[in-house]
Amino acid sequence: MSVSSKQKIANAVAMQASGYSLEQIFYKDEDIYQAELDHFFLKHWIFAGHSCQIPEIGNYLTLNFDSESIIVVRSDDGEIKAHVNICRHRGSRLCLDDSGNAKRFTCPYHAWSYRLNGDLAAARNMPDDFDYAKNGLHSVKLETIGGLIFINLSANPPSLSAIRDDLGEILSHLGVDRLSLAQQKRYVIPANWKLALENYQECYHCAPSHQEFAKIHAMARAPEDYARLKTEYWAKHPNNIKFQQFNRYFGLAEVGQEGYQYDRNPLLSNKLSGRKNGNAIAPLIGQLDSYDGGASELMIGPFSFFLIYDDHVLAYRFLPISKDQSICDVFWFVDENAQSGRDYDLEQLTWLWDVTTQADKTIIQNNQKGVDSRFYKSGRLSEMETFQQSFLDWYLTLLALSAE
């Protein structure tokens, strides 16, 4: 990055008031966007999917953001591997599908072909001194946490060990490692990725924008109401493993560890799950033997969030396509043995978070339109936007470091 670009970023961070929405430059400036790619998306762990999506050798899925594409594949030894999705010949995109099954990955350009573990298997008419061993696919760091697959594009990623230590037992109790994918849906949002992520991080907008959600989740209530409902709910379940809190997100993460958060929050009275009438949807997950009227919120890394009801699990992943466009991928998981049509109705299962994410897309898009205006000025945040504020503080700190 040029000296003048660094100076521009440092100046922007210095001018930004804490407790206020970001100034326009953070949503509009191409140098800032490039710094975000380098210092956020190429350094932190990104949820790639669940191991249940690629159960057999050769099953793969691809993860794409900005100009990057990653192949996540169940390799010949049964292990899951991740490769950069570019051919080592002249750099063509190698695998063009979102998911599938392959014995090998063959380049659509000149047909070099690669084994599932990334090794180059065949390259036509190459000189005698061509070294196959030096032309395998670039590998990408990959780790799983209770079936959840994460990839990281850095050579030195933050550790996931604290997450495993704190959450391993809870996630196993909740059966997060024993799920099947019921549905996956992509929402393309014509807005900067931070507007999409910030919106997910606050529930100030829930009451006015998400009537359906607000009829089921206590979180949409005013802070004092919500605090009272949460205290009452927790008091009913002493010593239950689900009821723990880990606030290690953003600036609260230990040095060298990836950020995370886990909490258990109440639904409204007599609501059991995220369905139109708040009734149960699907078979209980993990070791649960009854509904307790709540759901767990989980964040792993800055871009991946999970909402764990007693009978299904939602995953949300936010990624940039460009400075002005982002993606929210939503995954609906149920117990590994649950079958659509027999044990749950897919439309009932997906209704709440489809309607909610569509509404989010609209309000985020409107937010971007206003932020684009010459008259936009950053505005004061509310008491219901403290989590978003902690993200912004962390974001600004890291961005300032990138400009040093």
> What is the contact surface with ligand FES in residues (CB under 6 A)?
87, 89-90, 92, 107, 109-112
CB of residue 381 vs ligand FES: minimum separation in angstroms? 48
Using CB distances below 5 to 8 A depending on partner kind, what does residue 33 bind out of ligand FES, Fe ion, none? none
Q: 150 has which bridge partners?
A: 47, 143
Phi, psi of 157 (to 5 degrees): -75, 155
Question: Which of 92, 322 has the CB closer to ligand FES?
Answer: 92
Q: How far is the CB of 82 from ligand FES (least distance, A)?
A: 19
Closest approach of ligand FES to the CB of residue 110, in Å: 3
Q: What tokens were used for 152?
A: 């990281």
Residue whose C-alpha is closest to residue 316's, from 308, 213, 386, 324:
308
66 contacts Fe ion (rule: CB under 5 A): no
228 binds, among ligand FES, Fe ion, none (CB under 5 to 8 A by kind): none
Which residue has tokens 């000296």?
A: 3
Distance in angstroms (rounded) separating the CA atoms of residues 5 and 29: 10
Within 8 A by CB and 6+ apart from 364, the residues are: 189, 191, 195, 196, 199
Q: Which is nearer to Fe ion, 36 or 360 (CB)?
A: 360
Q: How far apart are CA 343 and CA 134, in angstroms?
A: 50
Q: What is the CA radius of gyration of the chain?
A: 22
Least Å distance, CB 210 to Fe ion, is 5
Three-state SS for 91?
coil
Select the binding partner of residue 93 from Fe ion, ligand FES, none (C-beta < 5 to 8 A, by kind): none
Burial classification of residue 370, based on how many CB atoms lie within 10 Å of its CB (0-12 exposed, 13-18 middle, 19 or more buried): exposed
Q: How many CB atoms lie within 10 A of CB 51?
A: 18
Residue nearer to ligand FES on the CB measure, 137 or 272? 137
Residue 399's nearest CA partner among 32, 41, 153 is 32
* Helix/strand/coil for 324: coil
Instruction: CB nearer to Fe ion: give 258 or 360.
Output: 360
Q: Residues 96, 361, 9, 404: is their CA dihedral positive or negative? A: negative
Among Fe ion, ligand FES, none, residue 138 binds (CB under 5-8 Å by kind): none
Kindly state the tokens that stand for 314: 């939602």
Q: Which is nearer to Fe ion, 66 or 360 (CB)?
A: 360
Q: How far is the CB of 135 from ligand FES (least distance, A)?
A: 10
Residue 107 or 308: the one with the smaller Cβ distance to ligand FES is 107
List the single partner that 213 binds among Fe ion, ligand FES, none, CB under 5 to 8 Å by kind: none
Instruction: From the list ligand FES, Fe ion, none, pick the one residue 360 interacts with, judged by a Cβ distance below 5 to 8 Å according to partner type.
Output: Fe ion
Extended strands (E) in 102-194: 105-106, 113-114, 120-122, 139-145, 148-152, 179-189
What span, in angstroms and rounded, lies between the C-alpha atoms of 91 and 254? 38
Size of the residue set binding Fe ion (CB under 5 A)? 1
Pick between residue 91 and residue 256 the one whose CB is nearest to ligand FES. Answer: 91
Q: Of all residues in this chain, which one has the CB nearest to Fe ion in the complex? A: 360
Q: In the complex with Fe ion, which residue's Cβ is closer, 335 or 360? A: 360
Is the separation of the CB atoms in 141 and 160 below 8 Å? no
Residue 177 interacts with which of Fe ion, ligand FES, none, CB < 5 to 8 Å by class? none
Q: Minimum distance between the CB of residue 105 and ligand FES, rounded to whole angstroms?
A: 10
- In the complex, least distance from residue 199 CB atom to Fe ion, rounded to whole angstroms: 6
* CA dist., res. 113 & res. 111, Å (int): 6
At its nearest, how many Å lie between ligand FES and the CB of residue 115?
Answer: 15
Beta strands in 159-292 (DSSP E): 179-189, 246-248, 260-266
Q: Which is nearer to ligand FES, 135 or 183 (CB)?
A: 135
Q: Shortest gap between Cβ of 138 and ligand FES (angstroms)?
A: 14
For residue 185, the partner it binds in ligand FES, Fe ion, none, with Cβ less than 5 to 8 A by kind, is none
CB of 129 to ligand FES, least distance (A): 18
Beta sheet of 113-114, edge-to-edge order:
105-106, 113-114, 120-122
* Between 124 and 380, CB nearer to ligand FES: 124
258 lies in the binding site for Fe ion (CB under 5 A): no
Task: Draw the binding track, 329-368, toward Fe ion (x: CB under 5 A; -: no contact).
Answer: -------------------------------x--------
Alpha carbon distance 151, 64 (integer Å): 12
Residues that bind Fe ion (CB under 5 A): 360
